[in-house]
Amino acid sequence: MFDEDPLIPPEWRGDWNLSVVLQDEASGAATGGTLYLTNIHRLYDTAKRKKNAEEDSYAWMGPIVSKSKALDTGAALRDRITAHRRVMVVNDEAHHVWDSGSAWNEAIRTLHETILARSGCKLVAQLDFSATPKDNKGLLFKHIVCDTPLGEAVDAGIVKTPLIGQASRKLVEQADDNAAYRWEQHLLLGYERWKASKAEWEASGKKPLLFIMCDDTDAADQITQRFNTDPLFEQLNGKTINLHTNLKGKLKKVGRGKEARYEFVEDEKAISDDDLKALRKLSRELDSNASPYFCIVSVLMLREGWDVRNVTTIVPLRPYSSKANILPEQTLGRGLRRMTPPGQANELVTVVEHPAFASLYQQELAQEGLPLEIVELDRVPATTISIFPDEAHKDVNALNIQIPTLSAGFRIVPKLEGLTIQDVKKAFKPYKPLPLGKQGNNEIQYEDDTCSQMKWWRNCNSIYLC
């Protein structure tokens, strides 16, 4: 960003020549400017860690990070960071740090105290970033410095415009133990809406994605199984991935070459770290046309970092019990990232009708200046126009376009030094003055070919040509 952003003064760029250290690279010298990119649990000092009974109280905001054992690189990483005299902490997903007694805050406090003891310096700053800056009572954090309401972000074209897709008739939950059939009406509506967005974006080379959010892993498994096999969802057969973090089993590669995909084999053991890394790699590649997947079925991906940009349709199937309505906001956030840069198409993300979203709109999004529309799913408007070369006129000569020959670099630089008002009057002397400013003569009519009408407004320093 500091190399490419035109707003960054060139004189500053040398200050941002940082070394980047990823979380598994704890060894090495600690001199010079360094950016440490790490998960917070790598900074936990488990030897000092005490059991905090209150930690369960913020589990609704995300998974409780395991503190059962220190990772091998943890101590070395902490030692390297605290060797610096000036350290700034930047927290992403910072709604986790609302509780001062949490392990996350304790880790930051330990960095601060260690740096103070080693060099007499302190943490320079702590910057917190979150899309949901609320505590477990739904109250905004008191230390918010800058807030960008969702309505403002939509108006600025930073994110997609969200819509609530309403069914033409009331959606009914079927009496079936299999979630894929119990929620069949919702899934079919989401599938049809996704197909429409897929057809709309196909010419651009973009690959829209369908996101299904389930209540539990059994439901996710059942829906994934049906999407991958049932001809009713033909375009998702073999192209749906079950992506969440509390899976039990192993990741198995099926097929070869471009047709290869990953499926899970159920097992009593929790998914391994290697398979979890493979899962996250898959999620990073979902936007790419090289990825075979068009649909993500998930349970807990709401609580993790999410950089997927191509979600155009969301089908929420889990209940929203939190009084803070954090989960509906996070669900909406799965599809807000744009596929194209701001200022191009007015991108939409459609959420298939869900009572929690109507409530969220009425109670909260309206306060954020977002007039969220509720429209029938089959009437969701297209927002893109495909532009392509006209093969019948691909020869530039056939269009009779003349391209002028320009000089390599000639320009006229006027010399205005010493120019006086007398010089201006002398230059205009050959021209007949206009009868402007006389009482009752505010409009002058011209009949020539170059100007149809000129109006002079008194007490104004401008002449307007109409």
Q: Say what the pLDDT of residue 464 is.
A: 41
CA distance 52 to 245: 24
What pLDDT score was predicted for residue 98? 76
The region of weakest confidence among 221-230, 248-257, 276-285 is 248-257
243 pLDDT band (50/70/90 cuts)? confident
Residue-range domain boundaries for the chain: 10-128, 150-379
Question: How far is Cα 230 from Cα 313, in angstroms, rounded to an integer?
Answer: 20
Nearest partner of 215 among 43, 331, 348, judged by Cα:
331
User: What per-residue confidence (pLDDT) applies to 121?
Assistant: 93
Helix 74-82 to helix 103-119 angle (10° resolution) is: 50
- pLDDT score at 312: 93
User: Model confidence at 325, in pLDDT bands (50, 70, 90)?
Assistant: low
For all residues of the chain together, what is the average pLDDT?
Answer: 75
Question: What is the band of 51 on the pLDDT scale with cuts at 50, 70, 90?
Answer: very low
| Nearest one of 224, 232, 226 to 249, comparing CA atoms | 224
Rounded to an integer, the average pLDDT of 149-163 is: 85
Output the six-digit token pair for 178: 């299999």
- pLDDT at position 369 is 66
**pLDDT score of 406:** 67
Q: Using one digit for the tens of pLDDT, what is the confidence trace for 87-138?
A: 999 998 888 787 778 888 889 999 999 999 999 999 999 999 988 787 777 7
Q: Is the pLDDT score of 453 beyond 50? A: no
Compute the average pLDDT of residues 190-208. 91
pLDDT grade for 300, boundaries at 50, 70 and 90: low
CATH of domain 150-379: 3.40.50.300
Taking residues 346-367, report their average pLDDT: 76
Of 243, 280, 238, the C-alpha closest to 261 is 238
For the ranges 41-55, 169-183, 378-392, the lowest mean pLDDT is seen at 41-55
What pLDDT sits at residue 222? 93
Mean pLDDT on 42-68:
50
Give the pLDDT of residue 278. 72
What is the distance of C-alpha 441 from the center of its chain?
Answer: 58
Angstrom CA distances, 200 to 193, 237, 265, 289, stand at: 11, 20, 35, 16
* 179, 214 contact by CB (below 8 A): yes
Single-letter code of the amino acid located at 354: H
Rounded average pLDDT over 273-297: 82
pLDDT of residue 333: 80
pLDDT of 444 higher than 50:
no
> Among 59-73, 116-130, 206-220, 340-354, which is the least confidently predicted range?
59-73
Q: How many residues does the chain have?
A: 466
Pairing of strands 463-465, 453-456: antiparallel
Q: How far apart are CA 176 and CA 179, in angstroms?
A: 7
Instruction: Find, among 6, 40, 42, the residue nearest to 24 by Cα.
Output: 42
The whole-angstrom separation of Cα 180 and Cα 139 is: 36
Q: What mean pLDDT comes out for the span 291-308?
A: 76
* Tens digit of each residue's pLDDT (9 = 90 or more) over 19-38: 888 866 655 555 668 889 88
Residue 370, pLDDT > 80, answer no
User: Residue 124 is inside which H or E element, if any?
Assistant: strand 123-128
What's residue 439's pLDDT? 52
Instruction: Give yes or no for a contact between 334 and 145, defined as CB atoms under 8 angstroms apart.
Output: no
Residues 6+ apart with CB under 8 A from 372: 162, 163, 164, 361, 365, 366
Q: Which residue, chain included where needed, has tokens 């979150």? A: 130
Percent of the chain with pLDDT over 90: 20
Confidence band for 299, pLDDT divided at 50, 70 and 90:
confident
pLDDT of residue 261: 54
pLDDT score recorded for residue 119? 92
Q: What mean pLDDT is predicted for residues 181-198?
A: 93
- Find the mean pLDDT for residues 358-367: 69
Summarize the confidence of residues 37-50 as an average pLDDT: 74
Beta strands (DSSP E) in 243-307 are 248-254, 261-270, 295-298
Q: Is the pLDDT of residue 314 over 60?
A: yes
pLDDT band at 65 (very low <50, low <70, confident <90, very high): very low
